[in-house]
Every structure is written in structure tokens, then in C-alpha cells.
Chain A
Amino acid sequence: MTGVTTPQGPVERVPVLEVENISVAYAAARGAVRAVNNVSFTLHKGEALALIGESGSGKTTLALALIRMLVRAAKVTEGRVRYVKNGAAQDVLGLSEREIRRFRWSECAMVFQGAQNAFNPVLRLSEQFSDTARAHGKGDRAWVKRRTLELFKLVRLDPERVYNAYPHELSGGMKQRALLALGVLLDPQVVILDEPTTALDILTQRAIIDVLAEMQDRLGFSIIFISHDLALAAEMADRVATMYAGEIIETGTVDDIFYEPLHPYTLGLLRSVPRLSGSQDLISIPGSPPDLISPPPGCKFHPRCPFASERCRSEAPPLEDFGAGHLAACWHTDRVVEARQGLWSDGAVVTRG
């Protein structure tokens, strides 16, 4: 279960992005909001890493920090981001304004939530593809056009029609696919997807998932995708990191996280998601996420945790390795192991078309 095989085949463990102890704080009237706290992870070549968690857990802030697109009020207070390409490493947080501009999109593209407004409404798609290339010194028009048409085909859009279209002439699903094509225009090593299918219809969402899988297969980029949709993570991710209150509280392979969760919060999330197959009872996590200006002492999840003990209230658990890269930050993983029994024993029939 804990192997590193994926549906696409074995993944070489070549790191492309190494995030070390990164913290981000926002300046607010009441004090500093510690939106991301001491987060570390490594993204490998060709791998899809899902960051899951509720809104306000710091997923998007973390992603924005990686490409240095945080709002003015937010600062990276500590940590390091190393980007590795062809064996050479770059310190992303140390790049100059000009270097980071070049870094964005050509090395690491970020596709934001809400593709509906991602394109400038007054420019044709072709212009938006070519000005992206030009900004990165790839001004060869013939090359840009050829590459653009090729990518449109890859995302299953009618190349000729879409090339000269204005954004409003495309449907929501088409815009989302065009944005994915734009995302890989410069052949980045890393693509960050923020809620790539939220607000899309089921069938459109399916088309996006399939297109993404095919693109990743062909182009071999790595994905960090941010979602609150566990089903999407189950389908697309090789590895999953659960975030809570700005921290990664559990990380492991997709099978580790879904079948053998070790953190009560991950277990809580899994129990609150309705499934098409199976009819297990849904249990919501009581309470609400903590105030990030003055978070609770000890483990930040303890006020909502069914297993909270005295120790949890005073001492924050470290992210500990439970074997084969499955990490969790909890004093009572043994109780989670007990409680997760029965999570999958509903014996329901898979719905098939």
C-alpha cells in the first residue's frame, strides 16, 4: 500500500521543489495572522501532490508563497524554497524581481481557482498566449503558434476555432481547458492548480480530470493541487498532505491517507464526505477552525478532537515518520488506528455505468 507506484507507472524520486520550514504571516489590525506555519515538503518529478483541508487552512497562501505572489500585507517570515532543474538548485525566495518574473510560468505555473475570469476579456486567446511567450523571451511567432495549436489539441479544444476566439466565446469548461494549455505553454516543471474543478459541472469536471492526467503523462510535469474535494485528491494525487490551521498535520501516499489515516483531522474529513458507493454514516467535525492570531496552545486541533488529552492541550505534537514516508503530527495515532476500523467496511457495491 505504501509503495510509490502510481497509475502512470513508477515515479523517479527526483526532487524538483524542496520547501523547508516555511512560515507566512499576514499583518492584521489585531496582530499577526500566522497563515502558514513551519511547513516542509518535497515535490518530485512527475508527481502529483494534493494539499487538502478546509478553507482558511493556509493551502492557497502556501502556494502563493512558492511563486512569491503573496499580497503586500503578507510576508514569508522564515524558511527556504529550493527549485531544482537539471541538477542545479535555485533559491526561489532569493530571486530578484526580474528573475522571479521569469521564474513564474516558465518554471512554475499557477492556475488559479475560477478560470472564468482568468483571461483578459478584450484580447483574443492567441494574443494572450503570444504575450506570455514574449514576456519570457520566446518571441518566435511561428513557434508560439505551433505550440499553442498543439496544446489546444492536447486539451481537446478545436485549435483553429479557439485560437482566434475571445474568452467570452468559450464555455466555462473550454476556458478551464484553455487555461491548462496556457499553463504548460512554456513547459514548466511544476504546475500549481488551485481548486481546478470547483464550480464546474460534473461532466466538465470529468473532462478536466482526464485532460490533466493525459497532459501530465505526455509532458511529465509535477502537480501541486489544492482542493477541499477529497474525491478529486483520491483520483488525481500520488501523495496527499492534509493541512490544518497553517500546518501540514499528515502526509503520505494517497493510499496511506485514504485507507490508513493517522491523524484525527484526516479521519474526520474522510468521515464527512458523502460517497456514491457505500452508505456509511457521515459525521461532521464539531467546532470551527481556530483563530490564527491567537491559536490554541499545544495541538491546534485539540479543541475539536475526540481524542484530546492533557498532553495535547499543552504540547504540540511533531510531524513524525510512521514508516515509508507516512508522517503525522498526533500524540494519539494509536487511537486513530482503532477508530478508523470500519471506515471502509461498508461492503457496498461500486456504482457502474
Chain B
Amino acid sequence: MSTPILEFRRVSRSFGEGRAAVPVLRNVDLSVNELEFLCLVGESGCGKTTTGKILSGLLPPTGGRVLFEGQDVSTLKGEAYGRYRRAVQIVHQDPYASLNPTQSIFDILRYPLLRHGFAKNHKQAHTRASELLELVGLTPTADVIGKYPHQLSGGQRQRVSIARALTTQPKVIVADEAVSMVDVSIRISILKTLMKMRETLGLTIVFITHDLALAKYFAWEGRIAVMYLGRVVEVGATRDVTGRPQHPYTKTLLSAIPEPDPDRTRRKEQLSLRSEDVPSLTELPAGCTFHPRCPFFEPGRCDREEPELEAVPRAESDARVACLPLTEDGTLRPYGG
């Protein structure tokens, strides 16, 4: 396989110092392959947003290495570093907070275009900005380009955010909960635009979301990485992770999601957690951090050693999983059963 476009090697990140340090990511290994659609899925506090920020260079890791096209980004200098930062762009969750309210849409697009030399003058910038707006489906562009963010709807603003991310002709777009704040029907059309751009522009997309159904739909050809308390617990092809989930956490998540189908959702089998309390990041349980809640907890095994991502023997799934009973025995036994 070719070199991943972005790669995490044992990446850790904590906030704060000394005793008060909060480990948000711990020794994460993750690769983003060129042109793939990778979903990072997990609940709040799992570290998915921090992962997105580190991937796009907005935040340095406190441990481990981040590789861009095989090179450690902390060793990149000058133009090489600039190339990395331009190549990886992020689209934030909140289209109300991420656009400067005092700038017109044209200003928002013009500054990065001129600054990074993608347009040489005002006229070129205008042409390029119109092209970008058309690309993200904000047509007629002449109506939009002179407006200010508050004159646009949430969905339109999010399209502007995407257009802004595209100004530097990136290779990777990190979309952090990019559609969670807009209405259902608009959500789909924005994501479809993103998918279309992926094909036409040759983009790699890292899609961060808490919505597994959405992840499944859009990353059907891609991969999903499920995160829990600062670690990846299961990563694999979307059809494996959503269709044949292996890790107890993934199984629990999938079983907990209501479905927009009355019969199906009523009949759905539920996996019950042993505890509804999410451990605090500053007082993580020993061993596998999911063990106090896991329906398949094996005392004396799961609470000793922190599991690493490995393949599951004899499984129908190609996913790699961080779960000792699974990776060592290939099977799970219900707790106390």
C-alpha cells in the first residue's frame, strides 16, 4: 500500500500541566489514505475533535509523531510546512462562530486566495471566489458574494466555510461535525456536495461525527474509526464496522441508536451497559478504559493491560480492534454469564 497522506504514530495530547493534566488522546495510531473517506466516530470527550485539530496542524501533539506524506510535520520548515498547512484544511462545526461577521463572503474567500498566491489581484480573486461558490452549490454566485454571514442561512454559511477551506487547493478536508448544526434535509445536500467535490477535486475527507448512521451512509466505501476516551477502539471498512461490529463499545453504540423505522426500532435488541457513568479523563480506569461499563468484561484480564489495535482471529470482519478477549481468543463472553 502507498504511503498514507496523513499518519498518527503513537500520538498523545494532554491539556494542562502536571497533576492537572487531562490526557485527551493517548498513543493513537491512525492513518488517512489518499482519496479515502475516513469517519471518526465517538461520543463527546472521546478526542475526535482534538484528533481533527492535530491532523490539520491547528494543535501540536504532546507525544508521538504526525506524518504528512511520510514526513514528520514537526521537522517541516518554511515552504514545506506551508505546503502541509495548505494541503490540510478544516471545516468547523459552528458556521455561526467560524465566519467573521464583519467580512463579506468575498472578503472571507479573498484573503486566503491573495495571501497564498492563488490569485494575483482583485479581479482574479473575484473570478476564483465565484468558481468556489459555484462548486459548493451557492448559486447564483453574484447574489451571495457581496453578502455578509448574517444574511445567510446556517446551511449556506456552512457551504461558505467549505468554499473557504477550498481556497488553498487542499488535498485533505477535515470536516468536524460539519453538518450537525443544520436541519436534516439540508444536511444531506451539503454532504452530497462534499462527496461530489471529493471525486472532482480528488480530495481526501476526514469526517468527524457522533452520528453513526450518517457515517455509515457517507463513508460506505470508506473506513470508520470508533474512538472512546482518547483511543481508537475499532477501525475498519465501514461495512464491517457498521454491519459486523466487533468491539463491545461499537456493538453497544449500534444497538443504542434508535432507527427511523417504528417496527425495527421496537424490535431492536439492546445491549445494556454495566454503568451509565462515563469515567473522567483525569481518573481513567486501569487496563481497557471501557471495562467498568463493558457488557463483556472479564475480571483480571480487561482491567490489567491496556489493549492495542489488532485483528480479530477467525472474524468475518477485517477491522482491527482494541479488546483483549477478542484479539486473543476471537470471542466475547457476557459478563457474569
Contact = CB atoms under 8 A, between A and B. Distances in A.
Direct contact of A and B (CB under 8 A): yes
Contacts of B315: none
Contacts of A203: 43, 252-253, 256, 273, 276
Contacts, number: 138
B49 to A, nearest CB: 14
B184 A277 contact: no
B208 to A, nearest CB: 14
B245 A202 contact: no
Contacts of A209: 258
Contacts of B188: 272, 274, 282-284
A353 B254 contact: yes
Given A228-B184, A277-B264, A206 B213 contact: no
A207 B276 CA distance: 8
Interface stretch (B60-68, B198-206, B214-222): B214-222
A110 B334 CA distance: 40
Chain B binding surface SS class: helix
A234 B253 contact: no
B262 interface: yes
Contact of B245 (A231, A275, A279, A353): A353
Interface string A168-194: 000101000000000000000000000
Nearest to A172: B44
A206 B254 contact: no
A350 B263 CA distance: 11
Given A173-B276, A276-B216, A353-B255, A55 B264 contact: no
Contact of B258 (A234, A258, A274, A278): A234
B199 to A, nearest CB: 16
B123 interface: no
Contacts of A351: 242-243, 245, 254-255
Given A54-B184, A201-B210, A353-B255, A235 B189 contact: no
Interface string A331-353: 00000000000001000011111
Q: How large is the interface on A (under 10, 10 to 19, 20 to 34, 35 or more residues)?
A: 35 or more
Contact of B278 (A55, A171, A270, A272): A171
B185 A353 contact: no
Contacts of B277: 171
A232 interface: yes
A269 B257 contact: no
A285 B253 contact: no
A231 B261 CA distance: 7
B19 interface: no
A268 B276 CA distance: 36
Given A171-B277, A202-B257, A353-B254, A275 B213 contact: yes
Nearest to B44: A201
A277 B261 contact: yes
B301 to A, nearest CB: 21
A284 B255 contact: no
Q: Which of B252, B260, B269 has the most CB of A within 10 A?
A: B260
A231 B255 contact: no
Given A171-B278, A284-B186, A351-B243, A231 B270 contact: no
Interface of A: 7, 54-55, 156, 171, 173, 201-207, 209-210, 228-236, 254-255, 258-259, 268-270, 272-279, 282-286, 288, 344, 349-353
22 contacts: A54-B184, A201-B43, A201-B44, A201-B210, A202-B212, A202-B253, A202-B257, A203-B252, A229-B258, A231-B213, A234-B261, A258-B261, A269-B185, A275-B260, A275-B261, A282-B188, A284-B188, A285-B185, A344-B261, A350-B268, A351-B243, A353-B251
Given A54-B184, A231-B257, A274-B213, 9 more contacts: A202-B256, A204-B43, A206-B256, A206-B258, A234-B260, A274-B218, A288-B155, A349-B243, A351-B255
Interface of B: 43-44, 153, 155, 183-189, 192, 210-214, 216-218, 220, 242-243, 245, 251-271, 273, 276-278
